[in-house]
Structure formats: C-alpha cells, structure tokens
C-alpha cells in the first residue's frame, strides 16, 4: 500500500493493523499527526515501512518489535520523543533512516547486530554524548550517516576496511584524533567530516573534503593549500581562526559585505550585492569570492541519480515583492551552506538574511506538498531552528527578512545554514531539500570614519573632475554605450519590462555589424547572431526580419512575455533594443546551439554531438519541465505553438532551454497566450490544430511527443520523401 505524497491528514487509522497481509506500507510525505498506532505491530509480514515526513509525535510503540520481517524502515523528519528504539528484533534490516526524527541518543549498542545494513542514516539526536557505535560487522554497508549525533572519541579504523562504503558523513560531532586511511576504500565518493575536533596531520590522500572547524596541525603551505579542501578554522594555535596560509593577508579592515546568493550582481538602492553564482556543492571547496568574504557548500543530494547536482534555485514565476531581483535566484545546499566573513573590524554588526521560497508552489498540485526546514547559526549560535520559509512568509514567492545583532571579536564571522534532517526530500522533485538563502547583508553598527584632520580639496580640482566626467559621459553616449532611445509608439506604452536595454550601437559593435560569420541561425523573427559585449559577455541577438509577418506589437508581446519568465529550461532574456526601426532581443548564448543540430546536423559546421542515453533522457525531462512551467506554473499561461528541435537550445552541459516565444499571441481578454490563428511547423503540429485551428495546451504536448521520438530515434521528422519504400517517422 503506497499513499506517498498526498494531502492525507489526521491520525494514522488503527484499522490498518487488521490488514495483516500487507508487506509494503508507504505513508510518507503526508500531513498526518499524532502517534504511530500500536496496531501497526500486527503487520507481522511487513517488509517495508515508510513513515517519514508526516509530523508524527510521541514514543515508538513497543509493538513495533513484532515486525521481525522488516528490511527497510524510514522514520525521518518527525517529532518523536524518547530514546532510539532497541534494534534487536529487526535483524533483517538493510535500510534504516532516522534523520531528524526527534529521538534522544545515544545510539544503542544493539545496533551492532544489524549486520545486513547497506544504508544507515541517523542524524540530529538529542541528549548526551556517546562513543562511536560498533559497526564492524556491517560488511555490506554502502551509505553511513551519523551526523550531529553527539559522538565522541575517535573514528574507528575498521571503517577503512568496509570496502563497499560509498558515502561517509560524520560531520557535526565531537570526534577527535586522526582521520583513518580511507584511501583504501575503492568506492568512496563522498566524505564529510566538518565541525569535529579532529587533529594530527591532514592526510595527503584527501582530494576533496570539507575539514572546516577542526583542530589539525598546520603543516607546509604546499600540503594544505589545495583547491578542493576547505580548511577554514581547522587548525590549532594562532591560525585556528583562518584558512591556514592559503588566504591573502587582509589589506584593511572591512565594515560590511553584501551577497546576492546564487545570482548575479544587483544594485538595490545604493547598495551593490555581489554575485555568488558558484554552484559547487558536495565538494569541500572554499570559494574565496572577495578578500572579505567567501562561501562553502557541503553535502550531496542523497538518492538523486542525476550526474550533476543542482545547488542553485531559480524562481518559476514572476516575483512581485519589493526588490525582487534579490529573490530571483538562491543558493541551495543538501547539508550545510556557510558564508564566511573575514578581515572585518571587530565590533557589533547587523546581519540581515533574505529568504523566499521559490521552488515549492501554492496550488493544488504535488508541487505544493513539499516542506523545507533548516537551522541558521551565526557565530556558532543557533538563531533559527527548524526554520520554514513558506510558513514564516505565509506562502511562496514572498520575502522574509530576518535581522540579527552579532559581535565580531577575531575579525571573522560565519553564517551557517544547516539541514537538520527535516522536511521533504523528494517533492516536487529529488534534490530540492536543504537550506535555501536568497541574499545576505552584513553591516557594522559603527560607520567607519577616516581618522585625522579633514582633507581640503581645492575647488579647481573638483571642477576639473566634473569636466572630465562630462567628457566621458558625452563620449559614451556618442558611442552608444549609455542611453537608449525607446520608440514611443502606443504598443510600447504600459509594458512592464523586467530586463535591461541595449543601444543599437552596442549590438552592432558586439556582432561586428551583424557580420555573416557571426550568424548562428534563424529564429521566429529572423536571423540570430552571436555577439560579444565590451565586458566579454557572450550573447545571442535575435533580429526582426523585414520579411517577417510579425510587427512591433507581436515583438513587444514577446518582450513583455519573456521578461518576467525565468526557469532553468527556458532561454533567458538579457534585454532588448527598440530604437527607431531596429527591434532586437538579446539572449544568453547557448554553446551547443540547437537540439536539431546536435541530433542530425549534416554540414561541417553543424557537427553532430554524441549524446548518451542519460543525456537524452535529461533533455526530454528538461523540455517537459519547461512546458509544464509555461502551461501550469507561470502567472501568465502560455502555449508555445512551435515546439521543435530548432527551438530547443542546448547549453554547455547539454541542458535544454526552450526558445522562441514569438508565435504566442497575447489574448488580452483572458490573460493567456492562446490564439486561433494557426502558426507552427508542419510535422510537429497536432492534427486538430493544423486542420481546424483548434488550439489547447495539448498541441504543445503533441509536438513534444514528436520531438521525444526524434531524440530517441536520432531521426528527423522533417526528412520525409514520398515513396513506397520510405517510412514516416511517426508511423515508424
């Protein structure tokens, strides 16, 4: 019986215990309350029991000891009380999950009899300290998580002899002494040891690990300064508060820093929030963004079979809150995300944290069922426990701003967002749980003032400076680097653009006057060119063709439509140029061009790409997610009408982005983009749309099916030639 991911509420019914033939029960990710009924203990044939993420309370009934056939048990993300259960009756267990369950430690010695375990996950235990549990007979163990379990003593050397281990997470304990020689483990892919009291020398075999907040002996700079090792505050002695010898000395005292977590640089008022677009996680790398701040993400999304984890979140609808630029992107971490301040002047500071839940949805779909909870520590002091952004804000896509007063004593500050094992792990999709932060501002409560006498600046110097600035501004305007002459035609009035503007001079310079060598394709409006801006940014410019039947109104509709839409599977609009008769859109540049070229490009410059099956699957899923966003999740519902391989672009990692919204016509009466005017590409249009002009969202679904068939077969649907021997792809 599986009722996983629903809206079931109330207590778990006792009569379930009467269905004694049950071997599988999954009630996870619901809204139950109360305790586990003792009647569940009657299910003596039960092999799998999942009661995770459903807010259960109280102690476990002793009747559960009757479930001697259990092989998998998950009780994570609940609010139980009392001690951990006695494991003596569950000797057949291969999987045990007790993360963020609310139990008290210590881990009982009886856990040692669970010799068949392949997956053991226990975290965030309350209660006193205990020694490392005896696990030496678990020879099949692959995944070991004993995080924040108040474990003391040393890491047992026998762990290095369990050759099947793939993941070891022993972070946030009080483990001492040296790290065993885990280099002997052939399958070890993930090792997390942050926030312990480990000492001794840092092993040379370590390649990528977070060892921050430990007590190692500092050795030579060559041995410790490695890119993928985070050693912030990991040494004893004088350098315990720094990153060893790896960071540059402080040039001065700093009094503030501002970070747009997960996003590009933005300016709010007169404050510049610096970019923090690094998406690395799992690795232990300390990202030293500026002299006065850096960040590090630890952990990997468990049970997430993607080849590349995502550690950034993007909003999936138009954000309407104040300063929405700060909340359009966010950093996400599966375990611990830490921002470090350094070179700060000692004293009192105000730390302001900006949050917004931009992944979960507030609708009747399964996307509204997710829960995110995490803890926030500043200077090692717990500030927020089991923090739920959506609950605090009263909904999704709403800002929550939390200010805190803290003190800096040793020129350093750390702000840590920690996943405590609570919340959903697979809704709306796997790899979405853990702490999420949109922006951070840190300001000293005492404004820095220059010491000494006031400096007199002669009036002539000021006048000369103003004159030079005016000359620079006039030259920049003449070159087209600033300013934008916007058409005042009525179709542009009232358009709320959430993008930047470019001048025609800028775009001409970027594309080398639209040189044919920079032409990369034809879009819904006409030619598309590759360009390079003065700052080195690579862009794609879509130019309105003089032969196109689309005019200013449809062009403007596309701008208004795309400017507010951001999703990982939609091509991103950087800005536009509406200057005289020139109408252009500026997009992010996609390194691998279109899906059509990747699948069956024939010319030398259209080299086919070798796309393996997992990548083809990821492309299909990405297109589906983009369409689901257009159809259901965005504020403005959109029917694309021309889904085909040429309109699916691929970035450098072969992630798909849907492009060309030019065929979607604004229907101002019902706030949707559905039109009865037939437009599209033969071979991809749904029959009812092509024959009778009847358009619904299902037209895009049909087109997606054709594209999916092309992806699987590697054959083009557009190469049909009438003959008796030729088989149409759709018939095939």
Q: Annotated binding residues, as ranges?
A: 542
Is position 642 annotated as part of the catalytic site?
A: yes
**132 CB contacts (<8 Å, ≥6 apart)?**
146, 151, 153, 154, 155, 156, 175
| DSSP H/E element including 627 | helix 613-628
Total residue length of the chain: 732
**Can you tell me the distance from the alpha carbon of 141 to that of 537, in angstroms, rounded to the nearest whole number?**
48
**Can you tell me the distance from the alpha carbon of 194 to that of 199, in angstroms, rounded to the nearest whole number?**
12
**Can you tell me the distance from the alpha carbon of 296 to that of 292, in angstroms, rounded to the nearest whole number?**
14
CB 435 within 8 A of CB 418: yes
From the list 642, 651, 660, 669, the catalytic residue is 642
Torsion of CA 586, 588, 594, 598, to 10 degrees: 150
62: DSSP letter? G
Tally of CB atoms within 10 A around 302: 20
| DSSP H/E element including 460 | helix 459-479
**Binding annotation for ATP:** 542
C-alpha distances (whole Å) from 680 to each of 532, 573, 695 are: 31, 22, 11
CB 282 within 8 A of CB 297: yes
**Can you tell me the distance from the alpha carbon of 258 to that of 388, in angstroms, rounded to the nearest whole number?**
23
Torsion of CA 722, 725, 726, 732, to 10 degrees: 140
What residues pair up with 232 in beta bridges, in sequence order? Answer: none
3-state secondary structure of 423: strand
Catalytic residues: 642
């Amino acid at each position: 019986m599986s009722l996983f991911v629903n809206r079931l509420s109330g207590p778990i019914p006792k009569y379930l215990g009467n269905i004694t033939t049950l071997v599988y029960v999954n009630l996870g990710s619901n809204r139950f309350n109360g305790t586990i009924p003792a009647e569940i203990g009657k299910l003596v044939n039960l092999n799998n029991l999942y009661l995770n993420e459903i807010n259960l309370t109280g102690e476990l009934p002793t009747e559960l000891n009757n479930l001697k056939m259990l092989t998998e048990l998950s009780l994570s993300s609940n609010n139980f009380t009392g001690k951990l259960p006695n494991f003596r009756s569950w000797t057949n267990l291969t999987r045990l999950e007790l993360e963020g369950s609310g139990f008290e430690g210590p881990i009982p010695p009886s856990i040692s009899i669970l010799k068949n375990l392949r997956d053991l996950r226990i975290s965030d235990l309350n209660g006193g300290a205990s020694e490392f549990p005896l696990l030496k007979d678990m020879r099949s163990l692959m995944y070991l998580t004993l995080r924040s379990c108040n474990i003391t003593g040393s890491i047992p050397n026998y762990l290095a002899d369990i050759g099947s281990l793939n993941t070891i997470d022993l972070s946030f304990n009080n483990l001492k002494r040296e790290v065993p020689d885990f280099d002997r483990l052939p399958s070890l892919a993930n090792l997390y040891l942050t926030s312990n009291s480990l000492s001794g020398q840092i092993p040379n075999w370590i390649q990528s690990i977070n060892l921050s907040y430990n007590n190692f002996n500092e050795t030579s700079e060559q041995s410790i300064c490695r890119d993928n090792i985070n050693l912030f505050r990991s040494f004893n002695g004088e350098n315990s508060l720094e990153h060893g010898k790896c960071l540059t000395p402080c040039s001065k005292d700093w009094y503030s820093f501002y970070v747009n977590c997960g996003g590009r640089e933005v300016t709010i008022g007169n404050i510049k929030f610096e970019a923090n677009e690094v998406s690395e996680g799992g690795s232990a790398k300390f990202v030293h963004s500026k002299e006065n701040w850096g960040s590090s993400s630890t952990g990997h999304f468990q049970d997430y079979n993607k080849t590349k984890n995502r550690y950034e979140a993007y909003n999936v609808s138009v954000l309407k809150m104040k300063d929405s630029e700060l909340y359009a992107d966010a950093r996400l971490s599966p375990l611990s995300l830490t921002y470090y301040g350094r070179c700060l002047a000692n004293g009192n500071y105000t730390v302001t944290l900006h949050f917004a839940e931009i992944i979960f949805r507030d609708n009747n779909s399964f996307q509204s069922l997710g829960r995110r909870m995490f803890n926030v520590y500043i200077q090692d002091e717990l500030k927020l426990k089991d923090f739920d952004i959506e609950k605090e804000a009263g909904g999704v896509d709403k800002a929550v701003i939390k200010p805190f007063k803290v003190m800096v004593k040793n020129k350093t500050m750390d702000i840590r967002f920690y996943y405590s094992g609570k919340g959903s792990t697979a809704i709306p999709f796997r790899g979405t749980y853990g702490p999420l932060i949109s922006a951070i501002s840190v300001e000293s409560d005492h404004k820095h003032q220059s010491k000494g006498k006031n400096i007199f600046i002669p009036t002539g110097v000021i006048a000369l400076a103003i004159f030079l600035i005016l000359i620079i501004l006039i030259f920049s305007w003449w070159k087209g680097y600033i300013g934008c002459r916007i058409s005042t035609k009525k179709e542009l009035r009232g358009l709320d653009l959430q993008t930047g503007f470019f001048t025609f001079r800028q775009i001409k310079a970027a594309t080398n006057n639209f040189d044919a060598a920079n032409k990369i394709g034809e879009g819904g409006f006409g030619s598309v060119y590759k360009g390079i801006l003065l700052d080195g940014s690579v862009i794609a410019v879509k130019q309105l063709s003089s032969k196109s039947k689309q005019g200013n109104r449809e062009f403007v509709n596309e701008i208004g439509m795309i400017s507010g839409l951001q999703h990982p599977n939609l091509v991103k609009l950087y800005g536009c140029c509406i200057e005289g008769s020139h109408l252009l859109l500026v997009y992010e540049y996609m390194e691998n061009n279109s899906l059509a070229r990747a699948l069956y490009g024939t010319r030398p410059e259209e080299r086919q790409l070798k796309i393996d099956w997992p990548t083809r699957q990821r492309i299909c899923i990405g297109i589906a997610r983009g369409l689901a966003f257009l159809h259901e999740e965005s504020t403005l519902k959109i029917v694309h009408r021309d889904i085909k391989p040429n309109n699916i672009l691929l970035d450098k990692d072969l992630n798909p982005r849907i492009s060309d919204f030019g065929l979607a016509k604004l229907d101002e009466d019902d706030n949707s983009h559905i039109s009865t005017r037939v437009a599209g590409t033969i071979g991809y249009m749904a029959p009812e749309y092509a024959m009778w002009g009847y358009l619904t969202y299902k037209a895009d679904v049909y087109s997606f099916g054709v594209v999916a068939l092309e992806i699987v077969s590697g054959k083009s649907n557009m190469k049909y030639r009438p003959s008796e021997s030729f088989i149409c792809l759709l018939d095939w």
